[in-house]
């Protein structure tokens, strides 16, 4: 049996917010890591960020690969025992063309899993989202057996639903005695520190706007949340837990956390520019047709949907980081102008 130092794990989208944390957790646990980047120019940024938190960057290498192209993927999966398929576009707003989100998510997932299967990868851990479970719910509790209706949700949620379904379909069609295994992780809103200080992601951008006073009012939105470090650790735990194979796991707080609580936590932590004025929902709805960001947001207004995360805790050993810790660490990690 191979030791962890001999096992290579591919992390797709390693330059992203979650991908970097997954790489850090893998290196900390003793694995070798290969990351995909769309441009090798990003590789050194990732290596530098990881070097600040890990002394094992010599066990890290990169391959250039794009979710919409065949090039690079055979090289990326070669010699890998596991794959963490983290890469997928994420925006809260509605794009002009839904396929800008859906195509990379679905085609990219099919491409990564197909190359992984052909290369003899043992298990793929796919990053999906709670929106694939609860985005058409107004209240109640969503669990791993639930699926949102892709015809009743926005483009981002639809992309996650269709990508996850495509993954399950591909794995289900396998023949042979040792089929590749699939585990799906469905995180909620991801908070916690960024390793680079950059705010290119949706959640980091939102917190950055809050602490800089660029969000004058807080919308009536409540979502299940999770710390990015927990997301990374649960992905790593999912690699070798036998019971996890063929299952999906909800990775979000049991209760939906109001954005007002997020704002108040940051204000109490000393970020004085944070506004705690509530945005009138009727006004946001009136303005939504004229704003891509608001159009994506209004479907979440007033929703109070909980999450059944019990199996994630039991099977994958998740011990949630307090959200106050996540938010304060996130704000502290963001480069201040």
What is the band of 291 on the pLDDT scale with cuts at 50, 70, 90? low
When the pLDDT of each residue in the chain is averaged and rounded to a whole number, the result is 92
- Give the pLDDT score at 91: 54
- Give the pLDDT score at 23: 98
Going from the C-alpha of 22 to that of each of 35, 49, 299, the distances in angstroms are 10, 13, 30
**Would the pLDDT of 94 be above 70?**
no
212-226 pLDDT per residue, tens? 999 999 999 999 999
- Give the pLDDT score at 99: 85
Cα-Cα end-to-end distance for the chain: 50
Candidate from 185-199, 241-255, 289-303 with smallest mean pLDDT: 289-303
Overall fold of domain 4-194+224-254+307-321: Rossmann fold (3.40.50)
CB 256 within 8 A of CB 138: no
CB 191 within 8 A of CB 226: yes
218-248 pLDDT per residue, tens? 999 999 999 999 999 999 999 999 999 999 9
Interatomic CA distance for residues 223 and 306, integer angstroms: 8
Predicted TM-score of the model (pTM)? 0.94
Cβ-Cβ contacts under 8 Å for 63 (sequence gap 6 or more): 34, 35, 36, 37, 72, 75, 76
Beta strands 257-258 and 222-223: pairing type? Answer: antiparallel
- Give the pLDDT score at 337: 52
- The domain ranges of the chain are 4-194+224-254+307-321
What is the band of 3 on the pLDDT scale with cuts at 50, 70, 90? confident
Catalytic residue among 117, 158, 160, 295: 160
**Would the pLDDT of 141 be above 90?**
yes
**Would the pLDDT of 150 be above 60?**
yes
| Average confidence (pLDDT) over 311-336 | 95
| Average confidence (pLDDT) over 284-295 | 64
CB 126 within 8 A of CB 102: no
160 belongs to the catalytic site: yes
> Nearest-CA neighbor of 219 among 208, 228, 206, 202?
206
């Amino acid at each position: 049996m191979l030791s962890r130092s001999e096992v290579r794990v591919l992390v797709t989208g390693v330059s992203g917010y979650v991908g970097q944390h997954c790489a850090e957790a893998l290196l900390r646990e003793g694995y070798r890591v290969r990351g995909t980047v769309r441009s090798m120019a990003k590789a050194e940024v990732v290596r530098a960020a990881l070097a600040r938190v890990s002394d094992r960057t010599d066990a890290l290498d990169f391959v250039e690969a794009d979710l919409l192209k065949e090039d690079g993927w055979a090289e990326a999966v070669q010699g890998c025992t596991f794959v963490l398929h983290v890469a997928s576009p994420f925006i809260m707003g509605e794009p002009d063309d839904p396929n800008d989100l859906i195509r990379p998510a679905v085609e990219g997932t099919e491409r990564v899993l197909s190359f992984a299967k052909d290369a003899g990868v043992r298990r793929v851990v796919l990053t999906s989202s709670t929106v694939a479970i609860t985005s058409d719910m107004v209240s109640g509790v969503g669990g791993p057996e639930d699926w949102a209706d892709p015809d009743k949700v926005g483009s981002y949620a639809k992309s996650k639903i269709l990508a996850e379904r495509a993954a399950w379909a591909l794995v289900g069609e396998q023949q042979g005695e040792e089929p590749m295994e699939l585990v799906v992780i469905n995180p909620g809103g991801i908070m916690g520190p960024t390793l680079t200080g950059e705010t290119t992601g949706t959640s980091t951008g939102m917190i950055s706007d809050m602490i800089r006073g660029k969000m004058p009012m807080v919308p009536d939105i409540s979502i299940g949340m999770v710390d990015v470090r927990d997301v990374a650790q649960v992905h790593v735990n999912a690699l070798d837990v036998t019971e996890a194979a063929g299952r999906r796991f909800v990775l979000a707080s049991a209760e939906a956390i109001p954005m007002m609580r997020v704002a108040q936590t940051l204000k109490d932590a000393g970020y004085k520019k944070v506004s705690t004025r509530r945005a009138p929902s009727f006004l946001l709805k009136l303005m939504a047709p004229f704003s891509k960001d608001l159009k994506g947001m209004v479907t979440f207004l007033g929703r109070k949907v909980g999450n059944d995360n019990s199996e994630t805790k039991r099977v994958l050993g998740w011990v949630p980081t307090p959200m106050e810790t996540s938010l304060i660490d996130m704000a502290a990690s963001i480069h201040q102008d």
